[in-house]
Chain A
Amino acid sequence: MTSIDDSSPAIHLHNLHFSWNAGTPLLDIADFQVRRGERLFLQGPSGSGKSTLLGLLGGVLVQQRGRIDVLGTGLAGLGDAARDRFRADHIGIIFQQFNLLPFLNVIENVTLACRFSPRRAQRVGDPSSEAARLLRVLGLDPAQLQAQSTRNLSVGQQQRVAAARALIGAPEILIADEPTSALDTDTRGAFLKLLFSQCERAGTTLLFVSHDTNLAPLFTRALALADINRSNIGRAPVARSS
């Protein structure tokens, strides 16, 4: 297990270069830090390199140059298996939509995170009751949801189940990739409120990626990817789609 240095920033990028082909880098970030417990709003249009950045932070991609330290651990220094394990243990991820495995019920979907991370499983003790607790806190009725097929949940319900999965076992970092874009305005507000309160409660660092700048004021800090990315490829509309 990777030892975690509590004093180090949650995320620290330094001289990061990443390109898909040997050509011009898609990402070229001189220095970027996310402090522990911060709720950061990262804005960027499609094709700006957001997904690539998330892939790098999650450890499924490896940069060509520079450093990515997550919780004080240099990801490039870990092997493939160790990076996957690191992600399982320390990072919760919420996608834009379709977060759930349709063949598992709601509780199973939430506890799936613990199956891949013994560390998170150990922290919660009984995954099923912790999953039910998180679902209740997020405004869902686990008993009622349990009875219906996962694919029949509304998008709002699905996103809250996904949030519960990302939060179970208290990973240090939560990355949310446009999690509210499929929600209507009312549901969006309620979802963010619940997400924030849970992150605050567990001291989770939240990296929230979205193109919707209306949400920016709700966060402790907001910035555009274009502000930290020196590469101008990402600004071109023809670049790789997310």
Chain B
Amino acid sequence: MTLLPLAVKSLANRCFTVALTVATIAISVALLLSVQRVHDEARRSFASTISGTDLIVGARSGPINLLLYSIFHIGDATNNVSWQSYKEIAALPAVEWAVPISLGDSHRGFRVVGTTGGLFTRYRYGAKHALEFSDGTAFADLYDSVVGAQVANKLGYAIGQSIVLSHGTGALADKHADKPFRIVGILKPSGTPVDTSVFVSLAAIEAIHADWQSGTHIPGQEISADAARRLDLTPTTITAFLLGLKLRIATFDLQRQINEYRTEPLLAILPGIALQQLWRLVGVAENALLIVSALVVVAGLLGMLTAMATTLNERRREMAILRALGARPRVVFGLLVLEATLLTVCGIALGLALLYAGLALGAEFAQAHYGLRIGLDFPGTRELILLGAVCCGGILTGCLPAWLAYRHALVDGLSLRL
């Protein structure tokens, strides 16, 4: 005697409530999995905010601090690195490339990064993705600038737009109004802080500060934009720099060498390790989201419990008929657990379908706006474990109405309670 056709037909008979229950479970499962995917992807994307760079070097502070201000543009450097040290380290035989970063200015709330063209070729994110231009090229002229995708998007900028940088990062910062920049390049979204940055050359940073001292304009000593072109625009200090090594095996040696640098106190960090430390701080909110979505699944299963429990009384007749035909009480129990299992499994299947449909529709949006690459991959181990847990939860939930029906079956015997 197989219970399966009985359970299937019994469910089909109540198709409306069954459809609602399955939909509830499906939506909760789809939510759980999408939160899990976004969580995974956010972690992966975060962990790969910068890749391909072996060391980040700045003035001596803490690793997370250096990472925050140099890459995420959060907070400010406590100290600068002298150009001299940069030159010396960049010239070391182990170093393949070096990209300097000079921070401190802003443009309408977005950080300005003074750097070299090397940034656009050397900076990598994710699985070693290079930055790409959606329009234009890297800066060539002194007053050229390149903007990140979000800067262009939010401010509605296009190639050729003239922009003015502000000194400092506050809202009321003085403007470098005498030396406007022209946008020559717009980058594609990367999901990294690059999207919210304005890039200019190191020389440009020197030029706009030529007539400034200690953070203020020197009155009566204005140097025009053209006049600044004739000055020696070699920087004296930079904020930090990125290093790529010829052999990654030399990373720790070089890191120690830099950390013990005699002329000034420097700190070299491995981006991956610092990112992991930072994720431990930020990841808490993501985990909270995961817990909330798990609770939504619990709510979905409780919905199933309600749907099953409310039909139990009207189904007592059904159970008495089965008993009269010789069904053991445990058959009654099994029938209801089987129904709960079918509901849960259908919910999971529909939830997966919803997830993939949503991913297929939303992947482009997530990529364009947040730089998140959410693939249509087959569920991973962790997801399968989650689905298994949902399935077990559904079966266990089904045990409660099943047990009630079992009790009824024992008490009712062959009498039909109407």
Which residues of A are in contact with B by a Cβ distance under 8 Å?
51, 54-55, 58, 60-61, 80-81, 84-85, 87-89, 93, 95-104, 108, 112-113, 115-117, 165, 177, 242
Contact = CB atoms under 8 A, between A and B. Distances in A.
B413 A55 contact: yes
B131 interface: no
A197 B321 CA distance: 24
B325 A58 contact: no
A114 to B, nearest CB: 9
B414 interface: yes
Interface string B405-418: 00000000111101
B295 interface: no
B12 A88 contact: no
B326 A84 contact: yes
A113 B13 contact: no
B414 A55 contact: yes
Given A93-B414, A95-B416, A116-B1, A80 B328 contact: yes
A93 B324 contact: yes
Looking at B13, B320, B322, B324, the one whose CB has the most chain A CB atoms below 10 A away is B324
Contacts of B329: 80
Contacts of B246: none
Contacts of B414: 51, 54-55, 58, 60, 93, 177
Interface string B326-354: 11110000000000000000000000000
B40 interface: no
Contact of B324 (A58, A97, A102, A103): A58
Contacts of A108: 9
Nearest to A54: B414
Contacts of B321: 95, 98-101
Contact of A116 (B10, B320, B325): B325
Contacts of B318: 101
A84 B327 contact: yes
A178 to B, nearest CB: 10
A167 to B, nearest CB: 13
Nearest to A103: B13
Nearest to B320: A95
Given A60-B323, A177-B414, 16 more contacts: A54-B414, A55-B415, A58-B414, A80-B328, A84-B327, A87-B324, A89-B326, A98-B317, A98-B416, A99-B321, A101-B322, A102-B13, A112-B325, A113-B325, A113-B326, A165-B325
Interface size class on chain B is: 20 to 34
Nearest to B14: A103
B326 A60 contact: no
Nearest to A80: B328
Contacts of B415: 51, 54-55, 242
B174 to A, nearest CB: 79
B326 A87 contact: yes
5 contacts: A54-B414, A54-B415, A60-B323, A84-B327, A95-B324
Looking at B9, B321, B326, the one whose CB has the most chain A CB atoms below 10 A away is B326
Contacts of B418: 98
A88 B327 CA distance: 8
B12 A103 contact: yes
A100 B416 CA distance: 12
A90 to B, nearest CB: 9
Shortest beta-carbon contacts, A-B, top 4 = A88-B326, A103-B13, A60-B413, A116-B326
A61 B325 contact: no
A88 B414 CA distance: 13
Nearest to A84: B328
A85 B1 CA distance: 12
B162 to A, nearest CB: 74
Contacts of B320: 95
Contacts of B317: 98
B46 to A, nearest CB: 52
Contacts of A100: 321
A78 to B, nearest CB: 13
A115 B9 CA distance: 15
A88 B1 CA distance: 12
Contacts of A97: 416
A117 B350 CA distance: 37
Contacts of B327: 84, 88, 116
A54 to B, nearest CB: 6
Contacts of B328: 80-81, 84
Given A81-B328, A84-B327, A104 B416 contact: no
Contacts of A101: 10, 318, 321-322
A55 B10 CA distance: 26
Contacts of B10: 101, 103
A39 to B, nearest CB: 20
A96 to B, nearest CB: 7
A104 B329 CA distance: 20
Contacts of A242: 415
Nearest to A51: B415
A80 B325 CA distance: 14
A88 B71 CA distance: 76
Contacts of B6: 104
A85 B416 contact: no
B342 to A, nearest CB: 14
B253 to A, nearest CB: 75
A88 B9 contact: no
Interface string B187-218: 00000000000000000000000000000000
A84 to B, nearest CB: 5
Contacts of A96: 416
A45 B321 CA distance: 23
B92 to A, nearest CB: 80
Contacts of A113: 325-326
